Copies of this chain bind each other. A is one copy, B any other.
């Protein structure tokens, strides 16, 4: 069973917004055993919408479309779909009432444009959008399904989870897709590939191996498509056991889990707490942890000590240490981690201090220089990493390094 995902909107093509919808839809379809054949983003053009749906229906049984359902003139998806399915429009009283009460709660009058949102094609099943004003639509033709959802990520997600997935499961006999991921650390992709080459060549043909490198981490994913029963899972387990025996010292975790999820789970399991002191990563580490439901069990406090004064005032870093070694130094990284651990009363603390650029670098400490400090119940130390030359990359890498160093301490 395959699907094509189509996201509609000029704002995607000009790069004004990041298309996160496609990723979320891919995950949901995959979990239900539906292979995504292609994801495509097109503009608000009737001609392009029609030709893309034509093509999508040739290559897959399910087409999920998002975007272009707003109340304004640039949103043409609904009328294009009505024409595509040779359908008249009618006024849906239930949806109209829902839209009216949603707007009333926000003190907004129900006007002509909102009335247009309650118009739906006769040929579709309306998917109720409990969280927004644009209803979803479910069309069927020749045993194939075309679903249209609003582009607002939050509304799309609830419609996919609450309406679309249950209907797809009921409509089609779905097989499952199995992905399992092993996470390695401290070994470069090419060296890793050389070390496991023999194992890789001997893999059963039904399994597909992928290498997914990230700072300090390479994920190895084994995938099997169109799976029936439990035997594939056992085959993958067995292959991972063999792999483990080849590189035991480099295996840090399993499954889709990001390293912050691994830390999150470990801290909760072990009943430990965390504090974070960030300079160059600017709140990014704290937000990675707090994005996870349940983080309040261990996350006590984060300090984004951007100015030198706040490093001293809030974290208790010695002004002399900054004067003597500079704010980006082993000593200051250690004092930041210790300070965060102390003021929060936490078991573990991590800190970052570095030069995110584009300015502020020197010959001795170029842009990308980052010290990462770790304070544990037993000791405090700091590690130097060069995190690249580009601001966003430096922040991302420093964050990934810091979290993976923390993982080595807590696991």
Contacts and interface: CB of A to CB of B under 8 A. Distances in A.
Interface in A201-245: 208-213, 221, 223
A16 interface: yes
Nearest to A113: B190
A77 B265 CA distance: 37
A313 B212 contact: no
B191 A109 contact: yes
Nearest to A111: B194
A72 B42 contact: no
Interface stretch (A17-25, A318-326, A401-409): A17-25
A140 interface: no
A103 interface: yes
A360 B295 CA distance: 12
Contact of A307 (B73, B108, B112, B344): B344
Nearest to A360: B296
B304 A108 contact: no
A403 to B, nearest CB: 13
Nearest to A109: B191
A39 interface: yes
Interface stretch (A87-95, A165-173, A373-381, A388-396): A388-396
Interface stretch (A141-149, A280-288, A330-338): A280-288
Given A300-B309, A304-B286, A293 B358 contact: yes
A38 to B, nearest CB: 5
A223 B10 CA distance: 10
Instruction: Give the interface centre of A16, A153, A179 by most chain B CB atoms within 10 Å.
Output: A16
A282 B293 contact: no
Contacts of A106: 188
A157 interface: yes
Given A72-B189, A282-B295, A389-B131, A310 B41 contact: no
Contacts of A278: 283
A349 interface: no
A82 interface: no
A213 B103 CA distance: 15
Interface in A30-73: 30, 35-44, 48, 70-73
A290 interface: yes
Nearest to A20: B18
- Copies of this protein chain in the complex: 2
A301 B296 contact: no
A363 to B, nearest CB: 17
Instruction: Give the interface centre of A191, A283, A286 by most chain B CB atoms within 10 Å.
Output: A283
B303 A303 contact: yes
A205 to B, nearest CB: 13
A17 B39 CA distance: 13
A81 interface: no
Contacts of A388: 131, 154
Given A40-B40, A283-B285, A395-B291, A208 B103 contact: no
Contacts of A284: 283, 287, 290-291
Contacts of A190: 71-72, 103, 108, 111, 113-114, 133
A345 interface: yes
Given A282-B290, A283-B284, 10 more contacts: A11-B212, A14-B36, A15-B28, A16-B181, A18-B23, A38-B42, A71-B189, A282-B286, A282-B287, A287-B287
6 contacts: A11-B221, A12-B39, A16-B181, A19-B22, A37-B42, A302-B304
Interface of A: 10-20, 22-28, 30, 35-44, 48, 70-74, 103, 106, 108-109, 111-114, 131, 133, 152-154, 157-158, 177, 179, 181, 188-191, 193-194, 200, 208-213, 221, 223, 256, 276, 278, 281-287, 289-291, 293-296, 299-307, 309-310, 313-314, 343-345, 356-360, 388-393, 395
